[in-house]
């Protein structure tokens, strides 16, 4: 792109914003035609028509293409950079302490920046990626693996998760002529999803899936033909086609426990959705020496093995299978028994290495608490975590040095004060993130400031007496309220 563009045409400078406004008023009042207004005020006919029809707004105060962000916002960005330089007392060639356009263009080029459409991220998911919560989970995972002796036993570490499979997927692309729409015949306008629960272990072994249909009963027409589905596939029906706690309990008792064999102890990891947590489930797991670890809320996309590597591959092949079936059965809806057959087929064909990769990416097996990079965390939360860790290390160093001495050190308070002061001085530098947060204030919703009852922490072992007591108390309160 030309850095200093010289305009050759004078069309944009032949009239002013006031001229355009007067021309529009004359035409709308009926005193003159659009053609005569164009001639009198020297405004291009197309431009005047666009304004009269409301296709475009009023004449811009600048010429050429509109800026990617409003001029006022660009100035705000440069102002923030100037504040950063001023607060941290940096030496720069900026005039009056403010960065200019040339600096911004060079900065964008050096760091590979460009204007992008931002991706929507659920606030709860963003907030849950707190290093304090995630590191607490990894510390808990490490203790469980050590206490159960599972560091070298991947076949005893399991993960299960559910996902919806669409009866009319649309991921697969087709080849078509340019300038014309490409279509595909489907059975109906709606997109029906069927819930499927799947489980696998860190050694790549797959458990039979659980298919949940919407309905009151399971009919023989819904079950895959003998020898054509995944061996041992379980089926269930609920009013909305979603998982329910009693359905999950039956799957755990009759399918999952049977599949994992007699080797114990077993560690089962999942997201801890309310449909997966039940007092009867916990008691059953304790009786069968199965430890259940609940993942922190809204962290499945970074910690859950099946979400990390399995479902994307699985659904891609599922999409291909359904499209192939639709080519030979145009206008027909996939029968439920054929759905069960296809699900079993793609699950059986899933490469075990993909499941193993999910456990590795989640830092479960082999254990790795550093799998989540710093970029995923909120910058300010990450800064607090690093300071917290540094303070702990400094206190531990002081404690070790004191133990090496013959007696208690009278200088210990001074040592601690010196460490705190050093940390304070080191953390006094104002970060760019802090400046941004000062400029962008989060709206506080007063309706959210209600008294809350803690149900579960970020990550916890739900096969524990504390959780059982909590669920019993919750059930007792529910029973009491129903009697009243």
List the pLDDT tens digit at each of the 484 positions of the chain. Answer: 455 556 566 555 678 888 888 999 999 988 899 899 999 888 888 888 888 887 765 545 555 555 555 556 666 777 777 787 787 778 888 877 777 777 777 777 787 776 665 555 555 555 557 899 899 999 999 999 999 999 999 999 999 999 999 887 655 555 555 656 555 555 454 568 999 999 999 999 999 999 999 999 999 999 999 889 999 999 999 999 999 999 999 999 999 999 999 999 999 999 877 777 788 899 999 999 999 999 998 888 899 999 999 999 999 999 999 988 988 888 788 999 999 999 999 999 999 999 999 999 999 999 999 999 888 887 878 888 888 888 888 777 666 566 555 554 444 444 434 433 444 444 456 665 566 556 554 444 445 444 444 444 578 888 877 777 777 787 777 777 776 6
Cα→Cα distances 397→173, 384, 419, Å = 60, 20, 11
Residue 239: per-residue pLDDT: 92
For residue 37, the SS3 value is helix
Domain 1-66 in this protein, CATH class: mainly alpha
H/E run at residue 125: helix 123-128
CB atoms within 10 A of CB 358: 25
Residue 79: per-residue pLDDT: 77
Using only C-alpha atoms, the chain has a radius of gyration, in whole angstroms, of 32
Looking at domain 142-170+189-374, its CATH architecture is 2-Layer Sandwich (3.30)
For residue 171, the SS3 value is coil
Q: Is the dihedral of CA 413, 415, 420, 424 positive or negative?
A: positive
Distance, CA of 236 to CA of 209 (rounded, Å): 11
Residue 175: per-residue pLDDT: 58
Please list the alpha-helical segments (H only) found in 352-407. 352-361, 379-404
Pairing of strands 234-238, 210-214: parallel
Q: Are 316 and 166 spatial neighbours (Cβ–Cβ below 8 Å)?
A: no
Distance, CA of 203 to CA of 152 (rounded, Å): 11
Region(s) of the chain under CATH 3.30.420.10? 142-170+189-374
Residue 168: per-residue pLDDT: 76
Distance, CA of 57 to CA of 51 (rounded, Å): 6
Exposed, middle or buried, 230 (CB in 10 Å: 0-12/13-18/19+)? buried
Residue 171: per-residue pLDDT: 54
Phi, psi (deg, nearest 5) at residue 332: -105, 150
Whole-prediction pTM value? 0.64
Distance, CA of 147 to CA of 150 (rounded, Å): 8
Residue 165: per-residue pLDDT: 93
Q: Are 167 and 326 spatial neighbours (Cβ–Cβ below 8 Å)?
A: no
Q: Are 20 and 59 spatial neighbours (Cβ–Cβ below 8 Å)?
A: yes
Residue 471: per-residue pLDDT: 78
Region(s) of the chain under CATH 1.10.10.60? 1-66
Contact residues for 391 (Cβ-Cβ < 8 A; gap 6+):
419, 420, 423
Three-class SS of 366-381: CCCCCCCCHHHCCHHH
Contact residues for 124 (Cβ-Cβ < 8 A; gap 6+):
297, 298
Distance, CA of 279 to CA of 471 (rounded, Å): 6
């Amino acid at each position: 792109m030309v850095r200093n563009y010289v305009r050759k045409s004078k069309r944009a400078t032949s009239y002013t914003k006031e001229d355009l406004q007067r021309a529009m008023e004359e035409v709308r009042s009926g005193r003159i035609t659009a053609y005569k207004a164009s001639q009198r005020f020297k405004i291009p006919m197309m431009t005047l028509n666009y304004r009269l029809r409301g296709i475009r707004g009023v004449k811009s105060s600048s010429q050429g293409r509109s800026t990617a962000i409003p001029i006022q916002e660009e100035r705000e960005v440069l102002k923030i950079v100037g504040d950063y330089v001023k607060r941290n007392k940096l030496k720069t060639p900026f005039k009056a302490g403010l960065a200019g356009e040339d600096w911004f263009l060079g900065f964008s080029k050096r760091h590979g920046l460009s204007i992008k459409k931002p991706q929507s991220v659920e606030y709860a998911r963003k907030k849950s990626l707190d290093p304090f919560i995630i590191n607490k989970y990894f510390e808990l995972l490490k203790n469980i693996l050590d206490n159960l002796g599972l560091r070298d036993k991947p076949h005893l570490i399991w993960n299960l998760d559910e996902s919806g499979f669409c009866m009319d997927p649309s991921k697969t692309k087709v080849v078509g002529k340019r300038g014309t729409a490409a279509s595909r015949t489907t059975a109906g306008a709606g997109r029906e999803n069927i819930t499927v629960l799947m489980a696998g272990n860190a050694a790549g072994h797959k458990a039979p899936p659980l298919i949940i249909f919407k309905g009151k009963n399971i009919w023989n027409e819904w079950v895959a033909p003998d020898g054509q589905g995944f061996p041992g596939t379980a089926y269930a029906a609920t009013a909305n086609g979603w998982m329910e706690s009693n359905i999950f309990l039956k799957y755990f008792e009759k399918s999952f426990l049977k599949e994992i064999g007699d080797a114990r102890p077993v560690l089962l990891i999942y997201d801890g959705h309310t449909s997966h947590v039940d007092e009867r489930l916990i008691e059953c797991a304790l009786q069968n020496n199965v430890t259940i670890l609940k993942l922190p809320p809204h962290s499945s996309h970074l910690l859950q093995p099946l979400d990390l590597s399995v479902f994307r591959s699985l659904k891609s092949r599922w999409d291909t299978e359904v499209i192939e079936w639709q080519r030979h059965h145009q206008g027909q809806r996939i029968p439920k028994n054929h759905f069960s057959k296809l699900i079993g087929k793609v699950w059986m064909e899933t490469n075990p290495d993909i499941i193993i990769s999910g456990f590795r990416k989640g830092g479960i097996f082999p254990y790795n608490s550093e799998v989540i990079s710093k970029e995923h965390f909120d910058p300010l939360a990450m800064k607090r975590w690093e300071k917290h860790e540094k303070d702990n290390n400094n206190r531990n160093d002081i404690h070790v040095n004191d133990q090496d001495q013959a007696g208690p050190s009278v200088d210990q308070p001074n040592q601690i004060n010196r460490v705190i002061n050093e940390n304070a001085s080191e953390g006094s530098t104002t970060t760019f993130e802090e400046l941004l947060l000062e400029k962008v204030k989060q709206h506080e919703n007063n309706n959210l400031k209600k008294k809350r009852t803690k149900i579960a922490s970020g990550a916890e072992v739900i096969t524990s007496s504390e959780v059982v007591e909590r669920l019993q108390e919750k059930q007792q309160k529910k029973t009491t309220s129903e009697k009243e």
